[in-house]
Amino acid sequence: MEAKLQLVILAAGHGTRMYPFSDAIPKSLMLVGGKPVIRWIVDRWAPHVDDIIICINDDDFDSFNHEFRDVRKIDFSCNDKPLGTAGEIANAKDFLDNEGFILHYGDIITNIDVGNFKYYHTMRYLDDYCKHEDKYMGTLVLIKERLENSIVKVYTNTIYSFEEKPTSDNYGWGAIAAFAPRIFEYIEYGKDFGKDIFPKIISDGKTLGAYLSDSKWYNTGDVKNWEIADKAAREGRI
């Protein structure tokens, strides 16, 4: 577990909540503080991973390839139809090794302590290995924000409930996770992590760790939140 993990960024989809801007540019390439959203992600994580896989739409390849012409460690997993968030990983499997990977949604900007998060994931993985349990599937970054994507219930840093919900004051998944290789037992085309994969893992009695983060967190997936993130970046708060 000393080896660095791979990073997979989900940057496909049509960005309907960013209309009309997304008609001209992929939402992950929208500028926040003068820099594309996805560059905020790559610049933070690149020093900590061996390589990066970005899941994109076929039609967006030229735009992303041009943006990252100066970064050698990036590969692109392309698709021509919606696959679901877990389906994007299934489509990218040929790029992934057997050491597990980190998942990062392509519309999230955060100043998370990457090294500390990786260390926490590694310790949970090693603890499971030493106990010969084979139950640990990964760790989710949780934040205490008003979110629209999930309610997560935690006990002793382990997730015991994950449910898609409307806006809530509870812990929510921050759209970042680190997975053990055995996560592929659950990965399927057409499936979504929040709606399908995480609830299934928990119902099967497997373990998802909870990394509680107080980092700054910005969702740029719609126009209103993109404007908030852009303002924060221009004011030096990211």
231: left (phi over 0), alpha (psi -120 to 50) or beta: alpha
Segment holding 129, helix H or strand E: helix 114-130
Tell me the pLDDT tens digit for each residue of 147-196: 555 556 666 678 767 766 544 556 789 999 999 999 999 999 999 999 99
pLDDT average, residue stretch 137-149: 77
- Alpha-carbon gap, residue 148 to 126, rounded angstroms: 33
Between 230 and 72, the higher pLDDT residue: 230
* Per-residue pLDDT at 1 exceeds 50: no
Q: Name the region of 4 (left: φ>0; alpha: ψ -120 to 50; beta: rest).
A: beta
Give how far Cα 51 sits from Cα of 14, 31, 68, 90, 189, Å.
25, 23, 13, 17, 23
Residues 104, 157, 116, CA angle at the centre, nearest 5°? 50
Q: Taking the CB of residue 66, how many other CB atoms lie within 10 A of it?
A: 9
Q: How confident is the model at residue 63, as a pLDDT?
A: 92
Residue 106 has pLDDT above 60, yes or no: yes
Mean pLDDT for the stretch of residues 28-32: 93
pLDDT at 120: 94
Select the more confidently predicted residue: 149 or 124: 124
pLDDT band with cut points at 50, 70 and 90 for residue 198: very high
State residue 98's pLDDT score. Answer: 76
The answer to whether the CB of 113 falls within 8 A of the CB of 217 is: no
